Amino acid sequence: MQQQIVRSEKSKVVGELAVGFAHEIRNPLSTIKGFLQLFQKEEQIESKKDQFRLMVNEIDRVNNIIKDLLNMARQAQIQQEKTDIKQLLDHTRQMFLAETDKRGIDFTFLNDSELPVAWVDSDKVQQVMINLVKNAMDSMPNGGELTIHTIESKTEMIGIIVQDSGVGMSREVLDRIGTPFFTTKSDGTGLGLMTCFRIAEEINGSLTVESKEGEGTCFAFQIPIYKNQPE
């Protein structure tokens, strides 16, 4: 598999983010403004249903971007706590089971070993899992296999592997993921992975990816364990 390790510095591009944000908001808004100006000169608005639909779509897009940005900017301090990762991942799977079923995706969670307790901000880890699962689902429009499994590494970390059998990524896409607003989706925001890389860094973990076009993608999310367990 083609390998690409994405460095976490990518998540530190605050200035780039501000510029990108302004740009992304300006484009859809100018589309809306253009149509509205056109309508001002028209008698029959009835015949402009398509443009109305487009305007609503564009407004939705703005809302999605703002929602993702706010999520990301929720600078809440990191709350590291003892976390049962198996329980957290079970919860992630439950959240998406109805949706994956509907889309013909076989979603499996393999966890056969006894894992140590993790030392993480569980809300943030859940946020990463949600983003990774959503992306995996998007990569399999005709169904496929989505597997999460855990491994205990020798480096006092737990590895959470998220593997899909989706469209995969080209070298060009791999090089750009995690950059603010980089998306290949018509309704994407390009903020999901950036948030994931940033969270991985904040909790002293890491996030790496391997992908091959036409075969699938595998994200490896390493999170720290709780070292001085009384048990």
Considering the complex, state which of residue 28 and residue 178 has its C-beta at the smaller distance from Mg ion. 178
Q: Which does 189 bind (CB under 5 to 8 A by kind): ligand ADP, Mg ion, none?
A: ligand ADP
Q: Which residue is nearest to ligand ADP (CB)?
A: 192
- Establish if 135 lies at the interface with Mg ion (CB under 5 A): yes
User: Could you count the other beta carbons within 10 Å of the beta carbon of residue 206?
Assistant: 19
Total of residues contacting ligand ADP (CB under 6 A)? 23
d(Cα 193, Cα 231) in Å, to the nearest integer?
A: 35
The angle that helices 122-138 and 192-202 make with each other, rounded to 10 degrees, is 150
Q: Token pair of 46, please?
A: 């009835």
d(Cα 75, Cα 83) in Å, to the nearest integer?
A: 21
Minimal distance, residue 132 CB to Mg ion, in Å = 8
Q: Token pair of 156, please?
A: 């006092």
- Establish if 135 lies at the interface with ligand ADP (CB under 6 A): yes
Considering the complex, state which of residue 192 and residue 224 has its C-beta at the smaller distance from Mg ion. 192
Q: Which does 206 bind (CB under 5 to 8 A by kind): Mg ion, ligand ADP, none?
A: none
**Site stretch for ligand ADP (CB under 6 A), options 78-86, 147-155, 185-193, 197-205:** 185-193
Considering the complex, state which of residue 36 and residue 73 has its C-beta at the smaller distance from Mg ion. 73
The angle that helices 85-102 and 122-138 make with each other, rounded to 10 degrees, is 30
d(Cα 197, Cα 178) in Å, to the nearest integer?
A: 7
Q: Which does 164 bind (CB under 5 to 8 A by kind): ligand ADP, Mg ion, none?
A: ligand ADP
- Establish if 183 lies at the interface with ligand ADP (CB under 6 A): yes
d(Cα 59, Cα 30) in Å, to the nearest integer?
A: 11
| Single residue of 139, 150, 165, 206 touching ligand ADP by CB under 6 A | 139
d(Cα 133, Cα 60) in Å, to the nearest integer?
A: 22
d(Cα 122, Cα 92) in Å, to the nearest integer?
A: 12
Secondary structure (3-state) at 192: helix
Q: Are 214 and 168 in contact (CB under 8 A)?
A: yes
- Establish if 185 lies at the interface with ligand ADP (CB under 6 A): yes
Minimal distance, residue 72 CB to ligand ADP, in Å = 11
Kindly list the residues in this chain that would bind Mg ion in the complex (CB under 5 A). 135, 192
Kindly list the residues in this chain that would bind ligand ADP in the complex (CB under 6 A). 131, 135-136, 139, 164, 166-169, 173, 177, 182-185, 188-194, 217
